[in-house]
A and B are shown apart, each in its own frame.
Chain A
Amino acid sequence: MTVSLTLENVSAHYGSTQVLKDLTLAVAAGELVSLLGASGCGKTTTLRLVAGFLQPSSGTIRLGDRDLTRLPAHQRDIGLVFQNYALFPHLSVRDNVSFGLKQRGADAAERKKRADRMLERVGLSSFADRMPAALSGGQKQRVALARALVIEPPLLMFDEPLSNLDAKLRVDMRVEIRRLQRANGTTSLYVTHDQEEAFSISDRVAIMNAGRIMQLDTPEVLYQRPANSFVARFVGFENLIDMTVVERLGETVTARTKDGALLQLSQERLGAIPDRFILAARPDGLAVARDGNGIPVTLGIRTYLGRAYQYQCAAEGQSYLGNGSLSEPLDTGDRAVLSPVPEQCCILPADV
Chain B
Amino acid sequence: MLADRWLRNKMVKRLSPWILAGPATFLVLIFLIFPVGSTLFATLTDAKGWLAPYMAFFNSSLRRTVLMRTIEISLITTVISVVLGFIAAYVVAHVPGRLKSIMIIAAVFPLLTGVVVRSFAWLILLGKNGILNSALLSLGLIAEPFSMLYTKGAVIAAMVYLFVPLMILTLAGVLEGIPKDVVEAASSLGAKPFAVFRQVILPLAMPGLIIGAVLVFTGSFTSYATPQLLGGERQMMMGTFLYQRAMVTFDWTGASTVAAIMVVVTIAIVVLMTRLARRMNPMAA
Which residues of A are interface residues toward B (Cβ below 8 A)? 51-53, 72-80, 82-84, 86-90, 99-100, 102-104, 131, 133, 147-148, 151
Contact = CB atoms under 8 A, between A and B. Distances in A.
A86 B181 contact: yes
Given A84-B179, A86-B179, A90-B283, A99 B184 contact: no
B182 interface: yes
Instruction: Identify the interface centre among B186, B189, B191, B196: most chain A CB within 10 Å of its CB.
Output: B189
B191 A74 contact: yes
Nearest to B195: A103
Contacts of A100: 189-190
A83 B185 CA distance: 11
Contacts of A77: 190
A89 B188 contact: no
B246 interface: no
A74 B187 contact: yes
Interface of B is mostly: helix
A99 B191 contact: yes
B281 interface: yes
A76 B204 CA distance: 25
Interface string B272-285: 00000000011110
B192 A80 contact: no
Instruction: Identify the interface centre among A84, A89, A104, A147: most chain B CB within 10 Å of its CB.
Output: A89
Contact of B188 (A80, A87, A104): A80
A339 to B, nearest CB: 52
A87 B204 CA distance: 12
Given A84-B179, A86-B181, A90-B203, A76 B283 contact: no
Contact of B182 (A86, A104, A151): A86
Nearest to B193: A74
Contact of B184 (A51, A103, A104, A147): A51
Given A104-B190, A131-B282, 9 more contacts: A51-B188, A73-B184, A73-B187, A73-B188, A74-B188, A74-B193, A79-B188, A86-B182, A133-B283
B283 A99 contact: no
A99 B188 contact: no
Given A89-B204, A131-B282, A151 B190 contact: yes
A231 B5 CA distance: 66
A84 B190 contact: no
Contacts of A151: 189-190
B185 A82 contact: yes
A74 B200 CA distance: 14
Contacts of B199: 99, 102
B189 A147 contact: yes
Q: How large is the interface on B (under 10, 10 to 19, 20 to 34, 35 or more residues)?
A: 20 to 34
Contact of B190 (A87, A89, A103): A103
Nearest to A103: B190
A77 B185 CA distance: 12
A346 B176 CA distance: 52
A86 B281 CA distance: 17
B203 to A, nearest CB: 5
Nearest to B181: A86
Instruction: Identify the interface centre among A76, A83, A88, A99: most chain B CB within 10 Å of its CB.
Output: A88
Q: Which 6 A-B pairs have the closest CB atoms?
A: A100-B189, A103-B190, A86-B181, A86-B185, A80-B188, A90-B281
Interface string B246-285: 0000000000000000000000000000000000011110
Instruction: Identify the interface centre among B190, B191, B193: most chain A CB within 10 Å of its CB.
Output: B190
23 contacts: A51-B188, A52-B187, A53-B184, A74-B191, A74-B192, A74-B196, A75-B190, A79-B188, A80-B188, A82-B185, A83-B181, A84-B181, A86-B184, A88-B185, A88-B186, A90-B282, A90-B283, A99-B186, A99-B189, A100-B190, A102-B199, A103-B190, A147-B185
A89 B281 CA distance: 9
A88 B204 CA distance: 9
Contacts of A103: 189-192, 195
Contacts of A52: 187-188
A326 to B, nearest CB: 50
Contacts of B281: 90
Contacts of A133: 283
Nearest to A79: B188
Given A80-B184, A86-B185, A88-B200, A74 B190 contact: yes
B283 A89 contact: yes
A63 B266 CA distance: 56
B130 to A, nearest CB: 47
Nearest to B202: A90
B202 to A, nearest CB: 10
Contacts of B284: 90
B19 to A, nearest CB: 35
Nearest to B178: A89
A6 to B, nearest CB: 19
A62 B106 CA distance: 45
Nearest to B188: A80
A73 B283 CA distance: 27
B243 to A, nearest CB: 43
Contacts of A102: 199
